[in-house]
Amino acid sequence: MYNEIDLDKIDIAAEPPTEEPARQYYFMAKCREWVKSFEQENGRLPKSCVLNFGCQMNARDSEKLRGILREIGYEEASEEQADFVIFNTCTVRENANTRVYGRLGQLKPQKKKNPHMMIGLCGCMMQEPEVVEKLKKSYRFVDIIFGTHNIFKFAELVATRLESDRMVIDIWKDTDQIVEDLPNERKYTFKSGINIMFGCNNFCSYCIVPYVRGRERSRDPRAIVREIERLAADGVSEVMLLGQNVNSYGKTLDTPLTFAQLLQEIEKIEGIRRIRFMTSHPKDLSDELIRVMADSKKICKHLHLPVQSGSTDILTKMNRRYTKEQYLNLVDKLRRAVPDISLTTDIIVGFPGETEEDFEETLDVVRKVRYDSAFTFIYSKRTGTPAAVMEDQIPEDVIKNRFDKLLKEVQAIAAETCAIHEGTVQEVLVEDICDHDPTMVTGRLSNNLLVHFHGGKELIGKYVDVELSECRGFYYIGARR
Whether the pLDDT of residue 4 is over 70: the answer is no
The gap from C-alpha 62 to its chain's centroid, in whole angstroms, comes to 10
Whether the pLDDT of residue 258 is over 80: the answer is yes
Are the beta carbons of 226 and 261 closer than 8 angstroms? no
Mean per-residue pLDDT for 209-232? 93
Are the beta carbons of 187 and 64 closer than 8 angstroms? no
Mean per-residue pLDDT for 9-19? 94
* Bridge partners (DSSP) listed for residue 238: 191, 274
pLDDT, position 6:
87
Give the tens place of pLDDT for each residue, 388-445.
999 999 999 999 999 999 999 999 999 999 899 999 999 999 999 999 999 999 999 9
Give the tens place of pLDDT for each residue, 339-391.
999 999 999 999 999 999 999 999 999 999 999 999 999 998 888 999 999 99
What is the distance between the alpha carbons of residues 237 and 288, in angstroms, rounded to a whole number?
A: 25
Dihedrals φ, ψ of 206, to 5°?
Answer: -100, -5
Whether the pLDDT of residue 2 is over 70: the answer is no
What is the distance between the alpha carbons of residues 308 and 425, in angstroms, rounded to a whole number?
A: 34
pTM for this predicted structure: 0.89
- Cβ within 8 Å of residue 481, ≥6 positions away: 425, 465, 466, 467
